[in-house]
C-alpha cells in the first residue's frame, strides 16, 4: 500500500482506474434496477442505488408526464383538473436527505429550477457550486444541507423526453464520474420506459378482463331469461360479432 492511499479519495489513481470504479458501482445499480418490474420499484432502485454508489446526498427522478398519469397527483384532491392532461415534470422518486414526493416542488414546469432546466434543453447539466446558482436561490435546503455539486441528465428514449435524473452531492462532480453517470442515465431511461410500458399493458389487460367479466355476466343473465336479447346496443353488437366468429352450435 503506497502512501496517500486510504484517504478515501481517488487521488493517486489514474483517471482510467477512477472510471472503471465508477462503472463498477453503476453496474451494480443497473443490476438492481433491472430486478424490478414495477415502475415505482425501478425508480426507487435507481435513486437509492445512486445515493449508495455515487456518493450522492440526494438523487431524484422527475418523470415527464401528465398529472392524470402521476400517482402523487392522483392522490392530491387539490390538484387542478385543468392540468390533468398537460405534461410537466413530476417528482416520482427521491432518495437521500429527502424522500417525500409531494409538496410544493413535486411538479416542476419546464425551464424552472434544476430539473426543469435539464428538461427544457434536453441536455446534461453539471454545476460545481449550487449555492451560487441563480436557479437554486429559492431553494434554502441546498445551503442548509451543504449541497455543492449537481449532475442532471435528461432521460431520453427514442429521442423523446421521459424524465430527468438529478443527483446532488456535497462536493463537486469529477468530470469522469459525471460522464459515467451519463452512460448510466441512458440505461436508466430504457429500464424506466420498459417498466412504464409493461404497466400500461397490464392496466389495459386488467380493464379488458373486467369488461369481459361484465359481458359474460350480462350474457348469463340474458340466457337465464330464455333468450339472447341484449339490454344494450353494445352487448347486441358483441353478440352479433360472436355469432359471426363462432356460430351457435359449433362447439
CA distance 168 to 166: 7
The phi and psi torsions of 126 (rounded to 5 degrees) equal -125, 120
69 binds Zn ion (CB under 5 A): no
Q: Are 170 and 57 in contact (CB under 8 A)?
A: yes
183 binds Zn ion (CB under 5 A): no
73 binds Zn ion (CB under 5 A): yes
Comparing every residue's Cβ against Zn ion, the nearest one is 70
79 binds Zn ion (CB under 5 A): no
Which span sits near Zn ion by CB under 5 A: 87-95, 134-142, 207-215, 223-231? 87-95
90 binds Zn ion (CB under 5 A): yes
Q: Are 95 and 47 in contact (CB under 8 A)?
A: yes
Nearer to Zn ion, 1 or 77 (CB): 77
Nearer to Zn ion, 56 or 89 (CB): 89
CB of 83 to Zn ion, least distance (A): 9
User: How far, rounded to the nearest angstrom, does the alpha carbon of residue 141 sit from its chain's CA centroid?
Assistant: 23
- Count of residues in contact with Zn ion, rule CB under 5 A: 4
70 binds Zn ion (CB under 5 A): yes
Which span sits near Zn ion by CB under 5 A: 69-77, 157-165, 169-177, 238-246? 69-77
Nearer to Zn ion, 107 or 148 (CB): 107
Q: Which distant-in-sequence residues (6+ apart) come within 8 Å of 150 by Cβ?
A: 114, 125, 126, 127, 130, 133, 136, 166, 167, 168, 169, 173
72 binds Zn ion (CB under 5 A): yes
Burial class (CB in 10 A: 0-12, 13-18, 19+), 237: exposed
The binding site for Zn ion (CB under 5 A) comprises 70, 72-73, 90
Amino acid at each position: 500500500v503506497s502512501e496517500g492511499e486510504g484517504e478515501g479519495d481517488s487521488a493517486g489513481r489514474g483517471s482510467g482506474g477512477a472510471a472503471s470504479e465508477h462503472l463498477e458501482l453503476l453496474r451494480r445499480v443497473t443490476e438492481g434496477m433491472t430486478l424490478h418490474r414495477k415502475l415505482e420499484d425501478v425508480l426507487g432502485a435507481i435513486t437509492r442505488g445512486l445515493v449508495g454508489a455515487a456518493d450522492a446526498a440526494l438523487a431524484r427522478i422527475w418523470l415527464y408526464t401528465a398529472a392524470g398519469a402521476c400517482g402523487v397527483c392522483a392522490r392530491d384532491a387539490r390538484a387542478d383538473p385543468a392540468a390533468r392532461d398537460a405534461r410537466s415534470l413530476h417528482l416520482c422518486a427521491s432518495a437521500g436527505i429527502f424522500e417525500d414526493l409531494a409538496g410544493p416542488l413535486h411538479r416542476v414546469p419546464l425551464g424552472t429550477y434544476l430539473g426543469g432546466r435539464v428538461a427544457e434543453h434536453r441536455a446534461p447539466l453539471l454545476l460545481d457550486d449550487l449555492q451560487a446558482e441563480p436557479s437554486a436561490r429559492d431553494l434554502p435546503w441546498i445551503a442548509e444541507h451543504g449541497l455543492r455539486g449537481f449532475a442532471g441528465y435528461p432521460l431520453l428514449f427514442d429521442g423523446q423526453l421521459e424524465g430527468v435524473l438529478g443527483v446532488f452531492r456535497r462536493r463537486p462532480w469529477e468530470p469522469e464520474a459525471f460522464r459515467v453517470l451519463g452512460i448510466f442515465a441512458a440505461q436508466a431511461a430504457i429500464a424506466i420506459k420498459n417498466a412504464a410500458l409493461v404497466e400500461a399493458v397490464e392496466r389495459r389487460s386488467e380493464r379488458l378482463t373486467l369488461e369481459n367479466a361484465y359481458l359474460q355476466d350480462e350474457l348469463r343473465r340474458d340466457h337465464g331469461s330464455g333468450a339472447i336479447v341484449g339490454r344494450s346496443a353494445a352487448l347486441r353488437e358483441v353478440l352479433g360479432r360472436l355469432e359471426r366468429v363462432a356460430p351457435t352450435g359449433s362447439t
